[in-house]
Amino acid sequence: MNKIIQLKDLEIKDYKETWEYQEELFKGIVDLKIKNRREETNLETPNYFLFVQHPHVYTLGKSGDLSNLLLSEKQLEAKGATFYKINRGGDITYHGPGQIVGYPIIDLENFFTDIHKYLRFLEEAIILTLQEYGIVCGRSEGETGVWLGAGTPFARKICAMGVRASRWVTMHGFALNVNANLGYFDNIIPCGIRGKAVTSLNVELGVERVNEAEVKEKILKHFSILFEATFEKFEIVKQQSKI
C-alpha cells in the first residue's frame, strides 16, 4: 500500500480548471486500478492532495436543490461570481478568496476502505487544526462538516465538505473559512440548511487576518497523522493540463 501523498498548492485557480485537473488525476488512478484488475498486475496507485483558493464561485452538488441559490444569472455576474453544478455529494456552497480548499484525490485502498471513516477523518483534521487556535468546535448530528455551537441556537458552520468516490478513489473535499468574505454566503442557503449561520476563523478569533500558510501546515500535520501518510511536493507537467 502506498501511503505517500503528493502535495501541490495551486494558489488561486479558476474553479472549472481545477475541477478538470482533479478529474485528470482521479481518472489516472482509476484507470491504473482497472489495469491492475484486468491484467492481474499490482502496480502502485498514487495519491494526491491539492490546496487551492478559487475566485468567487457557487457550486451545487448532484443531489442539491437549485432553489438554494438566491441569485439570478445577472446578479451572479454583477457580483463577479460563477456557478457550476458538479458531481460531488452535498448541496450548494460558496468558494472564494480567504477560504482554504483541500482536494484529496487518494486511493482509499492504500489506507482503509470506509467512506464514512474517510469523511470523519477529514472533519477530524479540521477540528484538531482549529483546536490549536483555541476554537471549540465539532460535528453536528446528521450534517457533514465542522461546526461551532452545534446543537445550540448559535450554531455556525466553519468548514463545508463534499466528496465523490468511485472504486475507492476520492475527489473534491473540504472548504475551510479562514479569512473569508462571509457576505457571499448571504446569496445562498448554505448546504441547503436554513436558519444556521456561517463563520470564519478570523471572525472567531477577532482578528483582521489569520496566517493561511500556517493553517495549511496544521491541516497537513493532522491529516498525515490520521491517515498515517507522508506528504511530498510534486509537479505534474502534461500538455493537456491547464495548470
Q: How many distinct structural domains can be found in the chain?
A: 1
Distance (Å, whole) CA 78 – CA 227 = 42
In a domain, 55, yes or no: yes
Residue 182 inside a domain? The answer is yes
192-236 pLDDT per residue, tens? 555 578 999 999 999 999 999 999 999 999 999 999 999 999 875
192 assigned binding-site residue: no
Alpha helices in the chain (DSSP H): 15-39, 73-78, 115-131, 201-205, 212-227
Grid coordinates given for 232: 511530498
Of 212, 217, 176, 171, nearest to 48 (Cα)?
Answer: 171
Whether residue 195 is annotated as binding a ligand: the answer is: no
Enzyme catalytic residues: 191
Binding site annotation covers 173? Answer: yes
Cell for 6?
503528493
- H or E element, residue 163: strand 156-166
What CA–CA distance (Å, rounded) separates 239 from 110?
Answer: 28
Instruction: Say if 171 falls within a structural domain.
Output: yes
133 lies in some domain: yes
Evaluate whether residue 82 is within a structural domain.
yes
pLDDT tens-digit series, residues 6-61:
999 999 999 999 999 999 999 999 999 999 999 999 999 999 999 999 999 998 88
State yes or no: pLDDT of 240 exceeds 50.
no
Boundaries of domain holding 220 = 4-233
- Residue at 181 is within a domain: yes
Q: Closest Cα partner for 178 from 96, 122, 100, 93?
A: 100
CB 165 within 8 A of CB 108: yes
Looking at residue 236, its pLDDT comes to 57
Lowest average pLDDT, out of 32-36, 50-54, 84-88, 155-159, goes to 84-88
C-alpha cell at 65: 436543490
DSSP 3-state assignment of 133? coil
The CATH code of the domain that includes 52 is 3.30.930.10
3-state percent breakdown (helix, strand, coil) of the chain, nearest 5? 35, 30, 35
How confident is residue 239, by pLDDT bands cut at 50, 70 and 90?
A: very low
